[in-house]
Amino acid sequence: MKWTGRYQGYQLSSLRQDLIAGSIVGIVAIPLGMAFSIASGVKPEYGLYTTIIAGILIALFGGSRFQIGGPTGAFIPILLAIVMQYGYQNLLIAGFMAGFFLILMGIFKIGTLIKYIPKPVTIGFTAGIAVTIFTGQIASFLGLTGMKRHEDFLSNMREIGLRLPSINFYSVITACLCLAALLLTPKILPKIPGSLVGLLISTLAAAWLFPGQVATIGSTYGPISGGWPQFHWLPISLDQIVNLIQPALIIAMLGSIESLLSAVVADGMTGVRHNSNRELIGQGIANMAAPLFGGIPATGAIARTATNIKNGAVSPISGVVHGFIVLLVVLLFAPYASHIPLASMAPILMMVAWNMSERKSFTHMLRTKTGDSFILVVTFLLTVLTTLTTAVEAGLALAVAMFFFQMSRSLKVDKVLPDPTLKNKIMPHMVSEDHDCPQVEIYNMEGPLFFGVTGSLENSKLRLGEASDLKVLILRMGKVPFMDTTGEANFAAIVREYINLGVLVVVVGLRPQPLSLIKRTGTWDLIGAERAFEHVDEALSFALNQVNSSHCLGCKHLAFRECPVLSSAESPLRTPGSLQGSFQQ
């Protein structure tokens, strides 16, 4: 059989590699699936069900050959807030709706737009999520009792401070054992998942050395039920849909960003490009299916995808294998997972938070001390102190405002004249009070003409002053790449102002988009096609044929190379053809 697409070149040896990679990733995903569920405020088995259902479907229908999907740390603050406000059942409905939105995003090819979210915003909210996850595990690490969960960060920190006297040193010992295993295993046994080693060692130590002294998954959430994930329909009403649109959109937005970031990382590691819109459709299918089995929202997992690639994955089959490995463990060993201490799960999530914190990128961007640094800090603080929605909206708004502010300063309008020492290159420094042509003015325009530069254009030197002798205005527009209707209106107003005073307006080097726009608005007809040139020497030849020769006699400005002849005696003006090539564009 000849394989195509994501399975191109697939062989029997490829299946062996996929089986190995998928099995390793499946083992890595088990403790993470439970930890993410618990941190999100739901039972641990729901995270395992998500890993199974979503993991398989993302591999089958996604746009990346190596993507591993499942519950991720990025979702924790969002899902916890939804559970606390709406309840678990409504979380499932919101996840189902988010899947539908993701499919629509893929169909309408919005996947290509996600990459345009500014980096300060993504780094800011990712670092903020990391802080929320890390601090959310302090209580379990210390074994604090009587903890009440709050929706906001400061209230949770205050709660930890109030409960500090209830610290359980057995929990601290258990957590430290797990943390030590997480840090040492990659150095001693790099092929074995550190999270699995940490869970086993700390769970066995707690059971043998101080049984019953630390809170476990079973004592807190009840026993983990084994068996197959059970299918059940979601009771969705119109009122629920209206009520849950906002959380569903948040899940879809974050899921799309995370999955495509993960796919980009996979592209960089393998050199194989993903299909972003197909990836969103695959993510949508998975997120619509997972809630029907009790699963929580899922997305592409960067760390597990990287693990999949590093262990030799060849195709999406490794992602399918990873899901079936988790299913096999759930069927055979689920009851034993009830004995895992919550203190053992805390270091795993803390390590996840540390790894996803983008600390190096955060510090680097902060040191630049630019507008991006400000956007980064604002997005980060709002993610921690308010909600992800508020943070992203504010971050994007600031980024847009900053962009327009910078672009408004990007338009440069300079009065210029030829510099004989630079082969008559047109330069601003040549213009002075004693060296300027009263009858012909040349201006360089550089930058986009859009609504954000209205003020810059109005405040530019390109305004008719007391130059009553002015005959021709030459506008060099070769470096104006874009013009919107507002920019065109301002440009047309300037052209009209000069023409009404009897000045000929000449344009040079118009780019396709501005040219197309001024033709549609009528400004092109106002200027006249005969006064549009490709090169400045052609425009200048035309201009010098329009000047009043009597005004040139005795002129001391000598702005152009023709001026000595024009000012010295009654000599006829040069023909336009004789001036070709005198100046550089």
Residue 150's pLDDT is what? 87
Residue 425's pLDDT is what? 79
Domain count, the chain: 2
Q: Where are the alpha helices (DSSP H) in 341-482?
A: 342-356, 359-367, 371-385, 388-408, 454-458
Residue 463 CB partners (closer than 8 Å, separation 6+): 494, 497
* Same domain (yes/no): 396, 450: no
Show the domain range for 26. 22-401
Q: What are phi and psi of 481, to 5 degrees?
A: -80, -25
With respect to residue 407, please indicate whether it lies within any of the assigned structural domains: no
* Same domain (yes/no): 451, 326: no
* Same domain (yes/no): 305, 453: no
The CATH number given to whatever domain includes residue 568 is: 3.30.750.24
Out of 401, 431, 449, a domain closes at 401
With respect to residue 455, please indicate whether it lies within any of the assigned structural domains: yes
d(C-alpha 110, C-alpha 97), whole Å: 17
d(C-alpha 538, C-alpha 578), whole Å: 10
Specify the pairing of strand 440-446 against strand 412-419: antiparallel
Residue 33's pLDDT is what? 95
Whether 457 and 522 have beta carbons less than 8 Å apart is answered as no
Specify the pairing of strand 472-479 against strand 440-446: parallel
The rounded average pLDDT for each run of 10 residues, N- to C-terminus, in the chain (585 residues) is 63 89 94 94 95 97 96 94 95 98 94 82 93 95 92 93 96 97 94 91 95 93 85 93 95 94 91 93 98 96 93 94 96 91 95 92 94 96 92 92 83 86 78 85 91 73 64 94 93 91 94 96 94 92 86 80 71 43 42
Checking phi first, is residue 222 left (phi over 0); if not, alpha (psi -120 to 50) or beta?
left
* Same domain (yes/no): 362, 455: no
User: Bridge partners of 445?
Assistant: 413
Kindly state the tokens that stand for 184.
């040492």
Residue 576's pLDDT is what? 40
Out of 401, 423, 458, a domain closes at 401
User: Bridge partners of 216?
Assistant: 341
With respect to residue 67, please indicate whether it lies within any of the assigned structural domains: yes
* Same domain (yes/no): 381, 430: no
* Same domain (yes/no): 333, 436: no
H helices, E strands: number in the chain: 26, 8
With respect to residue 511, please indicate whether it lies within any of the assigned structural domains: yes
Out of 366, 401, 436, a domain closes at 401
* Same domain (yes/no): 385, 294: yes
Residue 574's pLDDT is what? 41
Residue 461's pLDDT is what? 62
Kindly state the tokens that stand for 23.
């099995």
* Same domain (yes/no): 522, 436: yes
With respect to residue 4, please indicate whether it lies within any of the assigned structural domains: no
Residue 580's pLDDT is what? 41
* Same domain (yes/no): 46, 164: yes
What pTM was computed for the model?
0.80
With respect to residue 7, please indicate whether it lies within any of the assigned structural domains: no
With respect to residue 99, please indicate whether it lies within any of the assigned structural domains: yes
With respect to residue 584, please indicate whether it lies within any of the assigned structural domains: no
Kindly state the tokens that stand for 418.
């030829």
By three-state DSSP, how is residue 92 classified? helix
* Same domain (yes/no): 453, 546: yes
Whether 217 and 42 have beta carbons less than 8 Å apart is answered as no
10 Å CB burial of residue 101 (0-12, 13-18, 19+) is: buried
d(C-alpha 506, C-alpha 193), whole Å: 71
